[in-house]
């Protein structure tokens, strides 16, 4: 079930999955407090995200969104993924070994707080995954996306904003590291780029980010800039169904 707990904003959730994995919908509209149950195969893998500031253009009659636009020109995304920056809820359910994996990722940027809470008997032992801080509130100027009226509605990931050449500036063991190197007279410098959150006040569930040492890159994995990955601790069966919620700031989670 997906629930919109934003205090004031309407959200158009979008979903993207594998080509052969059919789900009940790939896009719809939900106002404050509205929910919807989504049906997916037991072994579904895919993404869920929130689109904001959506409307139908009067000239073309195409459906567009300021954040999370999936390119279909309709409310249903129909196989289209989100344009960054967008907060992503990522699922891999029932495989391998009937274990569910899910995480909330802002590696490509952020537009809305998001919380995923497993439910039911099989989900009782699973932890939630979330990024519930309003990162737009302290996004660095160079990473900001505005609505045209001066309000910040999304925050770009560092790699997206600075067009990092990952093959040249990151080692393979950390392809999503937010650090950006710059050329100097003797090679590459070690200057660090702005983080997605603009400070070290990242999600409390955020994993560590790979860092440079004197001899190169360390081997601490950096799968997400400010996300979290949760695995079911149950040995038999998966986590079952869950609830995904999107909100506006941490206050929404307490409602």
Residue 221 pLDDT greater than 50, yes or no: no
Residue 51 pLDDT greater than 70, yes or no: yes
Q: In sequence order, what are the beta bridge partners of 184? A: 187
What integer pLDDT is reported at residue 97 of this predicted model?
75
pLDDT 10s digits, 118-153: 887 766 778 889 998 899 999 999 899 999 888 999
Residue 104 pLDDT greater than 70, yes or no: yes
Residue 239 pLDDT greater than 50, yes or no: no
Using alpha carbons, list the distances in angstroms from residue 244 to 128, 151, 163. Answer: 10, 26, 31
Domain, as residue range, for 132: 2-137+226-254
Bigger pLDDT: 170 vs 86: 86
What integer pLDDT is reported at residue 95 of this predicted model?
72
Alpha-carbon span 88 to 107, nearest angstrom: 9
Q: Residue 2's closest CA among 201, 244, 171, 253?
A: 244
Residue 217 lies inside a defined structural domain of this protein:
no
Beta-carbon contacts of 34 under 8 Å, excluding residues fewer than 6 positions away, are 3, 4
What integer pLDDT is reported at residue 220 of this predicted model?
32
SS3 label, residue 117: strand
- H or E segment at 158? helix 158-161
The sign one gets for the Cα dihedral 244, 195, 83, 110 is positive
What CATH code is carried by the domain that includes residue 45? 2.60.110.10
Residue 11 lies inside a defined structural domain of this protein:
yes
What integer pLDDT is reported at residue 119 of this predicted model?
80
Q: In sequence order, what are the beta bridge partners of 5? A: none
Residue 207 lies inside a defined structural domain of this protein:
no
The model's confidence at residue 63, banded by pLDDT at 50, 70 and 90, is very high
b/e burial code for range 207-231 (CB count within 10 A of at least 16 → b): bebbebeeeebbeeebbbbbbbbbe
The model's confidence at residue 244, banded by pLDDT at 50, 70 and 90, is low
Residue 209 pLDDT greater than 70, yes or no: no
Residue 47 lies inside a defined structural domain of this protein:
yes
Q: Which phi and psi (to 5°) does residue 199 adopt?
A: -160, -175
Residue 243 lies inside a defined structural domain of this protein:
yes
10 near 32, Cβ under 8 Å? yes
What integer pLDDT is reported at residue 44 of this predicted model?
84
As a whole number of Å, the end-to-end CA separation of the chain is 17
Residue 87 pLDDT greater than 80, yes or no: yes
What integer pLDDT is reported at residue 96 of this predicted model?
67
Alpha-carbon span 243 to 54, nearest angstrom: 23
Residue 223 pLDDT greater than 60, yes or no: no
Residue 89 lies inside a defined structural domain of this protein:
yes
Q: Which phi and psi (to 5°) does residue 214 adopt?
A: -65, -20
- Using only C-alpha atoms, what is the Rg of the chain? 19
Tokens 């407090």: give the residue. Answer: 33
Residue 55 pLDDT greater than 70, yes or no: yes
Mean pLDDT along residues 228-239: 33
Tokens 């997906």: give the residue. Answer: 2
Residue 142 lies inside a defined structural domain of this protein:
no
Residue 147 lies inside a defined structural domain of this protein:
no
Alpha-carbon span 125 to 183, nearest angstrom: 48
* Percent of the chain scoring above 90 in pLDDT: 33
Give the global pTM. 0.66
What integer pLDDT is reported at residue 43 of this predicted model?
82
Domain count along the chain: 1
């Amino acid at each position: 079930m997906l629930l919109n707990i934003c205090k004031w904003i309407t959200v158009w959730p979008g979903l993207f999955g594998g080509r052969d994995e059919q789900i009940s919908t790939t896009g719809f509209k939900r106002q404050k407090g509205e929910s919807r149950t989504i049906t997916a195969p037991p072994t579904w893998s895919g993404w869920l995200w929130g689109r904001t500031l959506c409307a139908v253009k009067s000239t073309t009659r195409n459906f567009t969104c300021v954040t999370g636009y999936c390119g279909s020109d309709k409310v249903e995304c129909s196989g289209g993924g989100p344009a960054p920056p967008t907060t992503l809820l990522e699922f891999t359910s029932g495989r391998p070994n009937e274990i569910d994996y899910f995480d909330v990722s802002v590696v490509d940027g952020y537009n809305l707080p998001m919380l995923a809470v497993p439910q039911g008997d099989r989900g009782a032992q699973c932890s939630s995954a979330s990024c519930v801080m309003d990162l737009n509130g302290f996004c660095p100027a160079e990473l900001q996306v505005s609505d045209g009226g001066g309000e910040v509605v999304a925050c770009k990931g560092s790699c997206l904003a600075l067009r990092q050449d990952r093959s040249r500036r990151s080692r393979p063991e950390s392809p999503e590291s937010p650090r950006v190197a710059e050329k100097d007279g003797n090679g590459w410098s070690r200057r660090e780029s702005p983080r997605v959150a603009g400070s070290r006040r990242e999600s409390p569930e955020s994993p560590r980010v790979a860092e440079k040492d004197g001899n190169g890159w360390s081997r601490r994995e950096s799968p997400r800039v400010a996300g979290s990955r949760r695995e079911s601790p149950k040995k038999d069966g998966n986590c079952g169904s869950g609830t995904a919620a999107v909100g506006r700031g941490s206050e929404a989670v307490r409602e």
